[in-house]
Amino acid sequence: MANDKMRFGTKVIHAGLSPDPATGAVMTPIYQTSTYLQKAPGDHKGFAYSRTGNPTRKALEDNLAALENGKYGLCFGSGLAAIDAVIKLLKAGDEVISTNDLYGGSYRIFTEIFEPFGIKFKFISMEDASKIEQAITSNTKLIWAETPTNPMMNIIDIAAISEVAKKHNVLLAVDNTFATPYLQTPLNLGADIVMHSLTKYLGGHSDVIMGGLVCKDAALAERLYFIQNSSGAVCGPQDCFLVLRGIKTLHLRMQRHCENGKVIAHFLRNHPKIDNVYWPGFEDHPNHDIAKKQMNDFGGMISFTIRGNSKEDAYKVMSSLRVFTLAESLGGVESLVCHPVTMTHAAIPKKDRENSGIIDSLIRLSVGVEDVRDLQEDLEAALSFV
Ligand SMILES: *Cc1c(COP(=O)(O)O)cnc(C)c1O
């Protein structure tokens, strides 16, 4: 069956994959090799050296491309290595317009690695696409968007931004780590590049660090493959195997993440010690209509603040939780809790952070796929200490 005919729950298991031609192994083998036999110089079976290409990595890259409804997939040693490859499409003097409320590591690589090389970054709120248009200059080459945003769960209208990007001949890249292709497919909404931290929901089991890119355009893909091979931030075949295995249950896990997320979001909203709850599934979330339009469901990422906004109270709640683990990262089967101010967003200046709503008592949950009653009871008990 052609990849583009398969439905999502079939694609995660089959797209881009076939039994191993050498042995019939049903699961993609881990091709633990750096190099490949050539019958005569240049006469090989498509693989010459594993930085350039490896069959296990290729299977994952093809699978990922199919999930995002793209044509070309590329995998890297981490999500940040994938971002690094995208920014290397640019040169000194070029400008990037980025979401202001974005992953802390993305902010760090933009401002501390690429700005010294002469690439300029403007960080703006993208909830209003006309603001992006005002920020575009003749040097703007790329728009970098992340939706839902981290950790405030704002939703950016991908189709609206893509219209602006196309009008001004600017590339649009979307970090789809939070939503996953189960919830939204940015390429269908007009994006040129989709980026993933495969470390999160796609890997799904908190046991691997890896990143990926997907695009549709052949020339863009060729340039990205050139950068992948030339800069060399590739991933090993064992890690590719783990992500391939994780992806096979993506649809099942995401369904449960969404169900559990909904229960926990409503529980928190009705709790007397909680101030604000940020989750795009609430009908009064400021971007709920766009979320409903571009996403299939609302996910398991939730942030909330505690009444009185005390950091001590936030710390007390986080260290009293027994089922949720206090740790960075997200998207695994297990529930995690983190404190953006001291953990994921410590690299962002305090003023910029607070302007985006990232205040002292803000806590972010990655709601896992456990029995939701245990998650709710855990939060209830931890909140009784403040
Ligand atoms: C984790 C994350 C990244 C970075 O990915 P790594 O695999 O940790 O390098 C980028 N964007 C988002 C939204 C993330 O959550």
Task: Give the tens place of pLDDT for each residue, 19-45.
Answer: 998 999 999 999 999 999 999 999 999
Mutate which of 102, 146, 200 for ligand 1? The one with the most ligand atoms within 8 Å of its CB, which is 200
Mutate which of 174, 196, 197 for ligand 1? The one with the most ligand atoms within 8 Å of its CB, which is 197
High-pLDDT (> 70) share of the chain, %: 99
End-to-end CA distance of the chain: 56
Structure confidence by residue, pLDDT tens digits, 254-272? 999 999 999 999 999 999 9
- Measured CA to CA, the distance from residue 227 to residue 279 in angstroms comes to 37
The reported pLDDT for the residue numbered 101 is 82
Whole-number Å distance, alpha carbon 101 to ligand 1 midpoint, is 14
Read off the DSSP letter of residue 122: E
Phi-psi region of 355 (alpha: psi -120 to 50; beta: other; left: phi over 0): alpha
- Asked whether the beta carbons of 8 and 182 are under 8 A apart, the reply is yes
Q: How far is CA 237 from CA 59, 88, 124, 194, 315, in A?
A: 10, 24, 38, 22, 39
The reported pLDDT for the residue numbered 320 is 98
- Determine how β-strand 363-366 pairs with β-strand 336-338: antiparallel
Write out the residue limits of the CATH 3.90.1150.10 domain(s) in the chain: 250-383
Residue nearest to atom 4 of ligand 1 (CA): 79
pLDDT category, 111, cuts 50, 70, 90?
A: very high
- Asked whether the beta carbons of 63 and 247 are under 8 A apart, the reply is yes
**Active-site hit among 11, 57, 58, 200:** 200
Write out the residue limits of the CATH 3.40.640.10 domain(s) in the chain: 3-247
pTM for the full predicted model: 0.96
Whole-number Å distance, alpha carbon 352 to ligand 1 midpoint, is 20
- Measured CA to CA, the distance from residue 200 to residue 178 in angstroms comes to 8
The reported pLDDT for the residue numbered 1 is 58
Which sign, positive or negative, has the C-alpha torsion 255, 239, 76, 302? positive
Give the contacts of 331 (CB within 8 A, at least 6 positions apart): 177, 180, 199, 200, 201, 202, 203, 204, 206, 366
Q: Is 207 a catalytic residue?
A: no
How many residues can be counted in the chain?
386
**Residue 38, amino acid:** Q
CATH fold label, 3-247: Aspartate Aminotransferase; domain 2 (3.40.640)
Atom of ligand 1 nearest to the CA of 177: 13
**Residue 51, amino acid:** R
Ligand 1 binding pocket (C-beta < 6 A) is 78-80, 103, 105-106, 146, 150, 175, 177-178, 197, 199-200, 209, 211
Atom of ligand 1 nearest to the CA of 106: 10
- Asked whether the beta carbons of 229 and 51 are under 8 A apart, the reply is yes
Q: How distant is the alpha carbon of residue 157 from its chain centre?
A: 16
**Active-site hit among 31, 72, 103, 201:** 103
Answer whether CATH 3.90.1150.10 is correct for domain 250-383: yes
Q: What angle do CA 224, 227, 232 make, to 5 degrees?
A: 130
Q: Is 175 a catalytic residue?
A: yes
Whole-number Å distance, alpha carbon 42 to ligand 1 midpoint, is 37
- Measured CA to CA, the distance from residue 186 to residue 192 in angstroms comes to 8
Q: Is 313 a catalytic residue?
A: no
More confident residue, 123 or 346: 123
Q: Is 200 a catalytic residue?
A: yes
Structure confidence by residue, pLDDT tens digits, 59-69? 999 999 999 99
Which of 165, 158, 101, 157 minimizes the C-alpha distance to 133?
A: 165
**Active-site hit among 62, 157, 175, 297:** 175
Structure confidence by residue, pLDDT tens digits, 144-156? 999 999 899 999 9
